[in-house]
Amino acid sequence: MKINSIILLALIVIGCKDNSTKDQPQKIEKRFSYSNTVNPDDFKAVIDGDSINLYTLTNKNGLRADFTNYGQRLIALHVPDKNGAMGDVVLGLPTLDEYMNGPKNNFGAVIGRYGNRIAKGEFSIKNTKYTLAKNNGENHLHGGNIGFESVIWKARQTAANQIEFTRVSPDMEEGYPGNLDVKVTYVLSDNNELKIIYEANTDKTTIINLTNHSYFNLKGEGMGDVNDHLMMINASSYTPVDNGLIPIGTIESVEGTPFDFTTPKTIRRDLDSNHAQMVIGGGYDHNFVLNESPKNSEGLVLAARVTEPTSGRIMEVYTSEPGVQLYGGNFLNGSSIGKSGKPYMKRNAFCLETQHFPDSPNQPNFPSTLLEPGDKYKSTTVYKFDVLK
């Protein structure tokens, strides 16, 4: 009887020991602190039966990206500074209502069907003329009055660090031909990269030029202007524009101009130049023609490298696209109040929009943006983050 009691007690002890460790993590994950995080409840809505929500990606290093499926927008992107402190480096608004009903903006949005401008809102395919909205003076900009930034996308988060957005843009939406089936995948890798993979196919010959319109400030959103950021753009040439910011059709050298970023310089250095192109753009709002090398291990060309000396943050941009648009935040005017509660003022951010060239459908010497039935559109861009050592 005594022996049986000892055996029973031993089994109870073993059982208690096993239960105390069951389902416990094998290692303790580091906790990360994020400031100015948005409230998921402020991004919940149902419109015409379609749900809108907030989705969060994380990686093992604590990077965090918040998205809404309204306009497929990157709301926030937290990356470390040189001391390991997390900071949100993209401009964005604190609620869904402000995106939908506030001043029109493209903060963090996917842009389509055609990023950038199309002259006089028209183009032709095989002698068929198509007419688009003139929503930027006499020209068409960023897909029209209701572009991809203003519609609800289907979202499917496939992993803690990955999400897919899909949508079919119907034939003749905003004047574009063909039913365009689009998928955009975002991956927040453990190499501290935000990778964006665009894919599409069509049932009728069309044009396509997708990009992401995130506004970056590596000091942190709401932390003032970006003019002291050091920028390198891997481009020996650019496409000059007319007064409507439409390319005039030439590809010209950046050498000896304010557009020479082949050696790193502050954004500020040539902002006050009286160069005709700087006057036309009110600063930087131009397409750069990327060099063909160097490339990363995936074969993507290095488009740009930006360093913010105070925080020590570095951002590199890699892409499969032939061009990148540098926009210096020239038209920010304080009408939008950001997540930190501060107004976004002129030049409080910059954009590096990887792309085919503006007005390519009307410029036969530019790389083609035609997509034919049976062909697949695929474009990849990577924003990689690091810090000064």
Residue 193 annotated in active site:
no
Report the pLDDT value the prediction gives residue 29, as an integer from 0 to 100: 41
Residue 3 belongs to a domain: no
Residue 9 belongs to a domain: no
Residue with tokens 């290093």, as numbered in its chain: 61
Residue 13 belongs to a domain: no
Residue 171 belongs to a domain: yes
Which domain, by its residues, includes 148? 40-387
Distance CA 88, CA 339 (A): 9
Distance CA 356, CA 285 (A): 15
According to DSSP, the residues that pair with 197 across neighbouring strands are 185, 380
**Beta-carbon count within 10 A of 158 CB:** 10
Q: Return all residues near 339 (Cβ < 8 A) that are at least 6 apart.
A: 36, 38, 75, 76, 88, 92, 93, 94, 221, 222
Q: Determine which one of 78, 213, 286, 356 is catalytic.
A: 213
Distances (CA, A) of 138 to 115, 125, 134, 244, 271: 16, 21, 5, 8, 27
CA nearest neighbour of 263 among 307, 222, 197, 295: 307
pLDDT digits (tens, 9 = 90+) for 213-262: 999 999 999 999 999 999 999 999 999 999 999 999 999 999 999 999 99
Report the pLDDT value the prediction gives residue 30, as an integer from 0 to 100: 54
Distance CA 137, CA 141 (A): 9
Residue 213 annotated in active site:
yes
Residue 4 belongs to a domain: no
Residue 32 belongs to a domain: no
Report the pLDDT value the prediction gives residue 36, as an integer from 0 to 100: 75
Tell me which residues of the chain have a pLDDT lower than 50: 1-29
CATH of the domain at 124: 2.70.98.10
Residue 17 belongs to a domain: no
Count of domains for the chain: 1
Residue 22 half-sphere exposure toward CB, CA atoms < 13 A: 7
Residue 85 belongs to a domain: yes
CA nearest neighbour of 229 among 195, 271, 188, 276: 271
Distance CA 194, CA 90 (A): 13
